[in-house]
Amino acid sequence: MRATRERIAVDAMGGDRAPGEIVTGAIRASEELDIEVLLVGDPQQIEPLLKTQSGSNKVKIVAAEDVITMHEEPLIALRRKPKSSINVAMELVKKGQADAVVSAGHSGAAMAAATLRLGRIKGIDRPAIGAVFPTLIAGKSVIVLDVGANVDCRPKYLEQFALMGTIYSQYVMGVEKPQVGLLNIGEESTKGNDAALRAHELLEQNPEIPFRGNAEGRDVLSGNFDVIVCDGFVGNVLLKFAEAVGDILLQILREELPRGVRGKVGSAILKPNLRRIKQRIDHAEHGGGLLLGVDGICIISHGSSQAPSIFNAIRLAKDAIDNQVLERIKAYTEGRKQDAIADLANAEVNSSDVNPSA
């Protein structure tokens, strides 16, 4: 238990549906998750939206003069617009005025801003976006990384992704002994290109990574793996394909349900089951991806995110904060694994003695 509420900066101007859907999702998160939200953007656009909705007493506005649009080149735009909403949001985290940042805006700009302003964790050469996928096993998910930050990856990067994914799977997803797989064209260790062969060797040799072996495409959603690593090119294609499949399945379910009186009765009976199906396969339920490897908590959401997805993205950020993902990754990469586990365990015990009403 934390002595104070988490404070999360949200890029209110980023995304296709900003700022309306962003504000709605942020207000819901502030109430249901009991957190503080800093909406970063144009006050003249945000204030009227806050006035129309109740429960916004935990939401504050932080002014930002500009916004980086989807068609702009990230690095050039970040330099030309130092007061853009994503830059200001990252600066809040850097200065310790926020615990995390969430953005549904230009993903390239968000990654670049996080890397430039927050910096990389010592021992991590490239940050990676980790996305949570559903599996065939109810209640079990798999984290896949990288899904877009690095189009080309050296074998060493994949090893680092596997380590970060292992830590996330253990401490956030609650998997005691995660099974790590390397996405490849075959299960055999001799399959794949030179990068895959070398990555396989590194993963096998690293005692901190519970490497199970190669994972084929059909294994991603099987539930046989808890962490799967790949380069950002393949991972992004996989992510978009999985999202499309989920949308298609939901649409088929809607179309195939009986119509008329029978349909209404059947829908009422099946409603709890349909809700669970939606929670398992709808990408909006996961909110976005966690940018692992930068010295701060950063969630990159879909550009088309609506309020429910923004709510879940903020929830994802809160989970990462509460489970001290950043501190644990830094401890592992700095060679302080055992000390860090003991220190963090003691911190959790001590924090449980804090009176939340004090």
Q: Report the share of the chain in percent with pLDDT over 70.
A: 83
Q: Which CATH number fits domain 130-285: 3.30.410.10, 3.40.718.10, 3.40.50.10470, 3.40.190.10?
A: 3.40.718.10
Q: What is the mean pLDDT of the chain?
A: 86
Give the least confident one: 40-54, 183-197, 278-292.
Answer: 278-292
What pLDDT band is residue 1 in, cutting at 50, 70 and 90? very low
pLDDT above 70 for 321: yes
- pLDDT confidence of residue 130: 94
The 10 Å Cβ neighbour count of residue 200 is 22
Q: Which tokens sit at 292?
A: 């692992």
- More confident call, 21 vs 358: 21
- pLDDT confidence of residue 138: 81
pTM score over 0.75: yes
> Before 146, cis peptide (omega within 30)?
yes
Specify the residue for token string 């003069």. 65
- The reply to whether 1-124+293-323 and 130-285 are identical in fold is yes
- pLDDT confidence of residue 248: 80
DSSP annotation string for 15-67 = STTTTHHHHHHHHHHHHHTT-EEEEEE-HHHHHHHHHTSS--TTEEEEE-SB-
* Rounded Cα distance, 206 and 203, in Å: 5
The 10 Å Cβ neighbour count of residue 44 is 8
| pLDDT tens for each residue of 59-115 | 999 999 999 998 999 999 999 999 999 999 999 999 999 999 999 999 999 999 999
Q: Which tokens sit at 91?
A: 């600066």
Among 246, 252, 251, CA closest to 279: 246
pLDDT above 90 for 273: no
Q: Which tokens sit at 135?
A: 């599996």
What pLDDT band is residue 281 in, cutting at 50, 70 and 90? low
pLDDT above 80 for 340: no
Q: Report the share of the chain in percent with pLDDT over 90.
A: 68
What pLDDT band is residue 356 in, cutting at 50, 70 and 90? very low
- pLDDT confidence of residue 76: 94
pLDDT above 90 for 204: yes
- pLDDT confidence of residue 142: 94
Residues contacting 27, CB < 8 A, separation 6+? 37, 50, 53, 55, 56, 59
Give the least confident one: 16-25, 129-138, 331-340.
Answer: 331-340
Amino acid at 110: A
- pLDDT confidence of residue 262: 57
What pLDDT band is residue 263 in, cutting at 50, 70 and 90? low
What pLDDT band is residue 124 in, cutting at 50, 70 and 90? very high
Amino acid at 28: R
Q: Mean pLDDT: which of 98-107, 238-247, 339-348 is highest? A: 98-107
Angle CA(249)–CA(253)–CA(256) in degrees, nearest 5? 130
* Rounded Cα distance, 164 and 177, in Å: 14
pLDDT above 70 for 167: yes
Q: What H or E segment, with its residue span, contains residue 11?
A: strand 7-11
Q: Which tokens sit at 310?
A: 């923004």
- CATH of span 1-124+293-323: 3.40.718.10
Please say whether the beta carbons of 228 and 220 come within 8 A. yes
pLDDT above 60 for 338: yes
**Which strands sit side by side in the sheet containing 7-11, from one edge to the other?**
59-63, 36-41, 7-11, 100-103, 297-300, 289-292, 128-134, 141-145, 227-229, 180-183, 211-215
Q: Which tokens sit at 12?
A: 């209110």
Among 161, 156, 123, CA closest to 145: 161
Residue extents of the structural domains in the chain: 1-124+293-323, 130-285
pLDDT above 80 for 354: no
Give the least confident one: 276-285, 316-325, 341-350.
Answer: 341-350
Q: Please give the average per-residue pLDDT across 180-207, as a whole number.
A: 95
What stretches of 82-232 adopt beta strand conformation (E)? 100-103, 128-134, 141-145, 180-183, 211-215, 227-229
Please say whether the beta carbons of 131 and 145 come within 8 A. yes
What pLDDT band is residue 345 in, cutting at 50, 70 and 90? low
pLDDT above 80 for 3: no
